[in-house]
DNA sequence: GTCTATAATACGATAGAC
DNA sequence: GTCTATCGTATTATAGAC
């Protein structure tokens, strides 16, 4: 029992995390609707009943996937906040993240944008949860802009930056061309530098 | 027989057009994957076999829907070309189209962007056809920019404008807020005016 | 060209043994 | 917590009468 309390990750939690990570990747690559429960079963190497032991429905898996995305990005932002003092350089780090993931973006689009776009059409209940991913970036960007001296404009400037990034992701995905991403992120960097 | 040749639209063509228009709306509102064949049956008021008489598969319906979109937008562009002499004012008409459709965009996103995003994930064969919608706008915008004196930059500026429009559509859809669209299109208009 | 019945399969979800 | 078998439904598509 002591051992159990000391160990941060139990076996069950590890299994659960494996399911979530498999589903996260599948949902990203094929979309939520196009990923079947059996796809998750096959990719995870587990059995159907085993997965249903952790999640009552496929929708619940998506909820966990969204929370995992949130945790991932919060980790990234915490790292930026820790390592980079200048808020403008932090915003450039955000753009650098996009260029660093250019091949994935060209193949599957933006993980948070494509998810919200899919769910926004006829699963608004779930899209409301996925929207938190946009809020996370919007608020973090706005906070950096406040640090830079922008006050009233911070919120709208943050959405502008986020929108530009989304537009770049869509174009890159549609044309599956990372070169387009590089051209456009260059202009977005210039926009940030002029702030 | 003479009568048949003189009539531009036969009964069969009218039925076919009805199917395509129903499917176009359903695909836009709910996505291609989430729209079942039965949904199209119900919305069209026809019978299953009747629809299968015109289209062998659901994918074929999508092909026809994409061609309908192409025809719709070609019609719009032809109208702009006819009525507006100044190429810069034509680009502003393009942006004005976006603001004019703000409520649909907030509810369902951009019809061509969301379609390409969905198909780009695991139906690349169909996305290749849907990409023609992006090409249509890209080429039309680039042609206007050439008229304005831009030569080498026309292609990349066209993709920039298209990307910005897509980004605005995504943000508007995610937050289901037409006000955001108005703010951002205002900035995009300013960008065009500065050209 | 219009209509109905149904095939064949994939889906999410459940039951219950171990 | 691990595994298998199966239910009920929805799916795309076909067959064939009218």
Query: pLDDT tens digit string along B115-152?
Result: 999 999 999 999 999 999 999 999 999 999 999 999 99
**Residues with Cβ within 8 Å of residue A39, at least 6 apart in sequence:** A26, A30
Q: What is the CATH number of the domain that holds B33?
A: 1.10.357.10
- What's the CA–C1' distance between B113 and D17, in Å? 44
Question: In Å, how far are A16, B17, B32 from A33, measured between CA atoms?
Answer: 21, 28, 10
Please, what is the Cα angle at A109 between A64 and A75, to 5 degrees? 45
Q: What is the chain B residue with the closest CA to A159?
A: B171
Report pLDDT for A6: 54
| Cβ–Cβ below 8 Å for A121 and B134 | no
pLDDT band at residue A181 using 50, 70 and 90 as cut-offs: very high
Report pLDDT for A2: 44
Question: In Å, how far are A24, A36, B39, B48, B87 from B57, measured between CA atoms?
Answer: 31, 21, 14, 12, 41
- In total, how many domains does chain A have? 1
**Residues with Cβ within 8 Å of residue B30, at least 6 apart in sequence:** A121, A122, B39
Predicted confidence (pLDDT) per residue in B12-62, tens digit = 889 999 999 999 999 999 999 999 999 999 999 999 999 999 999 999 999
- What's the CA–C1' distance between B99 and D13, in Å? 41
Contact residues on chain A for B137, CB-CB shorter than 8 A: none
Predicted confidence (pLDDT) per residue in B86-97, tens digit = 999 999 999 999
pTM of the model: 0.96
CA-to-CA distance for A79 and A82, rounded, in angstroms? Answer: 5
| Cβ–Cβ below 8 Å for B120 and A29 | no
Mutate: best of A29, A117, A124, partner B, most B CBs <10 A = A117
pLDDT band at residue A10 using 50, 70 and 90 as cut-offs: confident
User: Which ranges in chain B belong to alpha helices (H)?
Assistant: 2-6, 11-30, 37-44, 48-54, 58-83, 87-100, 102-108, 111-122, 124-147, 154-175, 178-193
**B153 SS3 class:** coil
Residue pair B155/B55 in contact by the 8 Å Cβ criterion = no
Report pLDDT for A11: 83
Residues in chain A: 195
pLDDT band at residue A82 using 50, 70 and 90 as cut-offs: very high
Q: What is the DSSP letter of B57?
A: S
Buried residues in B112-122 as b, exposed as e (16+ CB within 10 A): bbbbbbbbbbb
| Cβ–Cβ below 8 Å for A184 and B163 | yes
| Parent domain of B126 | 2-194
Instruction: Name which of A106, A117, A183, A103 is nearest B112 in CA terms.
Output: A117
């Amino acid at each position: 029992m002591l051992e159990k309390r000391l160990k941060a990750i139990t076996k069950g939690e590890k299994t659960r995390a494996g399911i979530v990570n498999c589903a996260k990747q599948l949902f990203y690559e094929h979309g939520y609707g196009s990923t079947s429960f059996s796809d998750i079963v096959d990719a995870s190497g587990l059995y159907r009943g085993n997965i249903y032991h952790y999640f009552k429905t496929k929708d619940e898996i998506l909820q966990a996937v969204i929370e995992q995305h949130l945790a991932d990005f919060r980790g990234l932002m915490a790292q930026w906040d820790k390592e980079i003092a200048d808020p403008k350089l932090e915003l450039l780090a955000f753009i650098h993240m996009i260029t660093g993931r250019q091949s994935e973006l060209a193949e599957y689009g933006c993980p948070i944008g494509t998810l919200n776009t899919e769910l926004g059409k006829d699963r608004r209940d779930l899209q409301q949860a996925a929207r938190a991913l946009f809020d996370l970036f919007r608020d973090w960007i706005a906070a950096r802009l406040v640090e830079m001296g922008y006050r009233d404009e911070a919120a709208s400037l943050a959405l502008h930056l986020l929108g530009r990034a989304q537009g770049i992701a869509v174009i890159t995905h549609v044309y599956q061309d990372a070169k387009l991403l590089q051209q456009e992120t260059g202009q977005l960097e210039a926009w940030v530098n002029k702030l």
